[in-house]
Structure formats: structure tokens, C-alpha cells
Amino acid sequence: MTAPQPTAPQPTAPAAVDRLRFGYGTNGFANHRLDDALTVLADLGYEGVALTLDHDHLDPYAPGLARRVDAVARRLAALGLGVVVETGARYLLDPWRKHAPTLLHDDPTGRIDFLERAVRVGADLGAEAVSFWAGVRPGHVAPEVAHDRLVAGCATVVAAADRAGVTLGFEPEPGMLVEDIAGWRRLRHALGDPERFGITLDIGHCRCLESSTVPECVLEVAGHLVNVQIDDMRRGVHEHLEFGTGEIDFPPVLRALADAGYRGLVAVELPRHSHAAPTVAARSLDFLRTAARQAGLDPGTPPVPVGADRSTGVD
């Protein structure tokens, strides 16, 4: 009689959580100094920030980077804010071409250098993740060439993250070479399934183009989920909307994140709302707390009163 073969151990599902940590993206505070944006978000009651490295928000190419990163790290600690680093600045690398160069361009060295800098900044800030995406394939670049360039560029960034001890969150983005969860899975496999190569999931993107429901998308990637962006959206339209103005039912989404055991930031992603940033941020947090209650979750602690002592600001 043949002895039974041992079965491979199955991964243990993360334990469900009863409270989510809400953050807000600084790309929605483009008209604020970074220190002012951090203070407003902390005063409103947010627990973290998705920090997009950009001209006015911790520019990684401006002089005195180490000193400025240290000041931001101290400020985040004083305010009790967690942080993820985002790399979607529109014109940081090229004043003429949005997001250029990407990992798909003929010369991607500028993008690779930027992502390596972002990894180092993330390490020094104690960031929970550093998030990035593929980019839009240039028309003259064949799909297979673009794919090879993406894999090679990501491998370089993964190596930098390994050296720095930083977790990467790769974001599927509508219209880019990798735009959905299936594409992220193929890319991760092509890279050899690196441990530090997780996924950044934009909740709105799930509604925009995934065939599964948004809660199903959350649970599908639960084991690799390292960063969450949250916004409302409509099917087939890539437009980041305020909560309640799109088509997403949010209590089941928040419930899915909690059931998945997700402990990272759930950061509001409204990059085109800087003109009314404090008002939109306040409204967004109220909405999310209400949705959390409806999902049977702890909505979080009340905000610190505006004007409370926040220690020394960023230089």
C-alpha cells in the first residue's frame, strides 16, 4: 500500500480586523505646503498619509534631501501619522510629458533612478509601502518589448527594495500596460514571485474595469495587499470621484478589507480636488467612518481638537 504523500502547508489567512486605518493622499493637497497638509489631516482625524513625492512635497531632487526626509519623519511621528510613499507625480521628471519617462520608454533610467530614490526615502521614513505602476506603452514600442522592459525595470526596483528592506506595492492602473489584477499576477510571476512585490489596490479601479465585484477583488489579493487607495468610480470611466457620487457600495468593501485582515492604510485618492482639499478631506473621512459603522467596524477615534499642540513642524 502506498504511503500517503505529505501535503504542502497551506498559507494561513490573516485574522480579521475590527478597525481600518484611514489616510489621505497628498496629491489631493497640491496647493498646500507639506507640513500644512500633514497638520490638517491629523487635525481632521486621519491616521496616515499617502505621500506623493513631487516638486513641493519632499522633492527627491532638491538639495538637502536627507535633512528634509528626517524632518518629515519626525513630523509624521509627532502627528501620529503612518505613511506610504507614492510615485505618481505628473511632471516631476519631465516638464513637457506627463509621467515620462516610464519603465516602458526607450530610456527608462530617469524613472528607475526616481523609483530607487523613492525606495530610499521610504526606508528612511519607515514607510509601510512604496507604490508605483507600469506606465502607458508608447505607441512605437511593441507590446512584447514593453513587457520585457517592465520586467527588467521592476527587477531593478525589487533589488533596491530588498537592499533597503522596503515593501513594494505595484498598482494596476487603467490604460497602462498593467491595468488589472490578472496583469499584476502575470508580472509578479515573471519576476519570480518576489516576497516584497505586493499589490496596491485602488478601490475605484476595481469598479472601473475588473470583472469581479469590488469586495471579491479585495479578497482575491488579500494575501499580497500592501497598500489601498480608495475613491468612488463608475464602470468603464477612469475618473476619481468623491464618495457617494459614483457607483460603489462602500460598507461591503470595508468589510472585505477587514475580513482580509488588512492592516495597512486605506488612503483617499482624489488627485483633482486640491482646490477644496480641507473640505473634501473632512467630508471623505465622515463618509468612511459612517460606512465603517454600517459594515460593523469600529469607525476610529475622534480627531484631536484643531489648534492642539503638534510639536515642531517640518523645516
Residue 152 has pLDDT above 70, yes or no: yes
Question: Does residue 301 lie within any of the structural domains?
Answer: no
CB 51 within 8 A of CB 74: no
Domain ranges, residue 82? 21-295
Question: Does residue 9 lie within any of the structural domains?
Answer: no
Question: Does residue 91 lie within any of the structural domains?
Answer: yes
The domain spanning residue 278 has which CATH number? 3.20.20.150
Question: Does residue 310 lie within any of the structural domains?
Answer: no
In angstroms, the CA 265 to CA 285 distance is 13
DSSP letter for 54, please: B
In angstroms, the CA 55 to CA 118 distance is 14
Question: Does residue 94 lie within any of the structural domains?
Answer: yes
What confidence tier does 300 reach under pLDDT thresholds 50, 70, 90?
confident
The 3-state DSSP class for residue 276 equals helix
DSSP letter for 57, please: B
Q: What's residue 249's pLDDT?
A: 98
Question: Does residue 111 lie within any of the structural domains?
Answer: yes
- pLDDT, one tens digit per residue, over 45-81 is 999 999 999 999 999 999 999 999 999 999 999 999 9
Q: What's residue 314's pLDDT?
A: 53
Question: Does residue 312 lie within any of the structural domains?
Answer: no
Average pLDDT (218-245) is 97
In angstroms, the CA 38 to CA 313 distance is 10
What confidence tier does 12 reach under pLDDT thresholds 50, 70, 90?
low
Report the greatest alpha carbon distance in the chain: 76
Question: Does residue 45 lie within any of the structural domains?
Answer: yes
Q: How many domains, the chain?
A: 1
Going by DSSP bridges, is the β-strand pair 130-132/82-86 parallel, antiparallel, or unpaired?
A: parallel
